[in-house]
Amino acid sequence: MKTIMVVDDEKDIRESLAGVLKDEGYGVAVAGSSEEALKKLESVSPDIILLDIWLPGIDGIEALKEIKRRSRYIPVIMISGHANIETAVKATKLGAYDFIEKPLSLDKVILTVEHALEQKRLLEENNELRVKTLSKYEIIGETKAMYTLTSGIKKAAPTNSTVLITGENGTGKEYVARNVYLLSNRSNKPFIEVNCAAIPEELIESELFGHEKGAFTSAVAQRKGKFDLADKGTIFLDEIGDMSLKTQAKVLRILQEHSFERVGGVEHINVDVRVIAATNKNLKELIIKGAFREDLYYRLNVIPFHVPPLRERAEDIPLFIDYFLKEFTRETAKEPVTINQEASDMLLKYEWPGNVRELKNLIERLVIMAPSSVITPDDLPEYIKGAEGSHPKNIFRSMLIKEARRDFEKEFILRKLKEFGGNIAKTAEAIGIERSHLYRKIKSYGIENEAVTQE
């Protein structure tokens, strides 16, 4: 049974409303003042509150503030015999569901109560769905880097600031984007995801901004783009490092002016969209190469988040193993699957170039294909069993290889420059790279003084 609290200092109104609501099958609690109502809320959890504005002591507006502070999901219907528009607007801004004037129409009261209950049900369902979705996109990790990441998400999410997420493929950049959205004030609005790397360059502008009828041969009707669809919500531009310079310019304009035109159109369309971008590329390097706009980078990089690769947080691997074992056991309706210590140690030694995604896929395969409920080294792929050493050892070896490769390349370029008398154009042609690319390498290695630029 739904319970409704009636708060009014007039006894006749309290009794009249209580009688009608009971006849409709509702439970009723009554209070003659805000103080009494707030006290009863410590032991009673009403589904709706009918609250008079003009009350002795604490008035209805102040009581509304306190009720909403305690529970944002209780609909509060304000009632008054001599309110004005200013008061009604103030009550609505504070979260009142509706405003009914005295003398009360009992039919209107019942109808408003029914509508408020329906809205409350929808809000509770949305909140439950939001909690489930958050669980689905749970960010796992107990390392310092992951604690910093999750703490940053909680601080940034309620704002409207633009977010840039960086990290290797498979690290979970989408999970970060989803958490920023789900913890934001826009979580009940659209979340539109765009994979910039998956859309052909000739189609991406139409995909993002839409097009007008006749804009090109196959444009037989007007079509809304992703920014249109994300209005009042959030757009997630994944792999933004793969976006063309022409499209980057249009995205920059949206960030600056909050407006755009559809392909083939002239009308300015205003939108209120929060932008979250992600990339597995080094945008600063792309800027140097002229492949990414520097001004767009600084517009996107308001709140930066970096998701570290799994090899840099090996302590989290056992958490992922346990989480995925439970998830896939539940999905496949099998008896609980565990992993023995020797097999677990092998997974810890592997460097996971595909990061969390690779680990997740492997655990799913093992849960389905392992012959018993205990995963052993015999069940693991050969490339896992053959993984050498621990993470620090392999990372150190990798660093040595990169250092040796860099030294070799530097000496090779110097030797070729001397061979062609410092002529960059001829040297570039001889070693098969663009002249501008060679010049950047000369600059990065600090050998400008040893190279004489000639045409």
pLDDT value, residue 350 = 94
pLDDT value, residue 15 = 93
Q: Among 279, 306, 333, which residue terminates a domain?
A: 306
User: Do 293 and 149 belong together in one domain?
Assistant: yes
User: Do 185 and 293 belong together in one domain?
Assistant: yes
Asked if residue 236 lies in contact with residue 194, where contact means CB atoms within 8 angstroms, the answer is yes
Per-residue tokens: 433: 């790279």
CATH number at residue 315: 1.10.8.60
Tens of pLDDT, residues 369-421 = 999 999 999 999 999 987 644 444 444 444 455 566 677 778 788 888 888 88
Q: Is 440 exposed, middle or buried (0-12, 13-18, 19+ CB in 10 A)?
A: middle
User: Do 214 and 297 belong together in one domain?
Assistant: yes
| 247 within domain boundaries | yes
User: Do 181 and 260 belong together in one domain?
Assistant: yes
> Mean pLDDT, to the nearest integer, of 130-134?
72
pLDDT value, residue 449 = 61
CATH number at residue 412: 1.10.10.60
Q: Among 306, 324, 342, which residue terminates a domain?
A: 306
pLDDT value, residue 393 = 45
| 73 within domain boundaries | yes
User: Do 299 and 164 belong together in one domain?
Assistant: yes
Query: For the chain, what percent of residues have pLDDT higher than 90?
Result: 62
Q: How far apart are the first and last CA of the chain?
A: 88
Tens of pLDDT, residues 156-172 = 999 999 999 999 999 99
> Which stretches of 258-316 are DSSP H helices?
283-289, 294-300
| 114 within domain boundaries | yes
User: Do 342 and 409 belong together in one domain?
Assistant: no
User: Do 229 and 249 belong together in one domain?
Assistant: yes
Tens of pLDDT, residues 261-288 = 898 888 889 999 999 999 999 999 999 9
Per-residue tokens: 113: 């109560």
User: Do 302 and 316 belong together in one domain?
Assistant: no
Domain span at 196: 144-306
Name the pTM for this structure. Answer: 0.64
User: Do 336 and 375 belong together in one domain?
Assistant: yes
Highest mean pLDDT: which of 292-296, 387-391, 436-440? 292-296
pLDDT value, residue 136 = 84
How many domains, the chain?
Answer: 4
| 27 or 428, which is more confident | 27
User: Do 152 and 264 belong together in one domain?
Assistant: yes
Facing residues of 161 across strands?
none
Facing residues of 31 across strands?
7
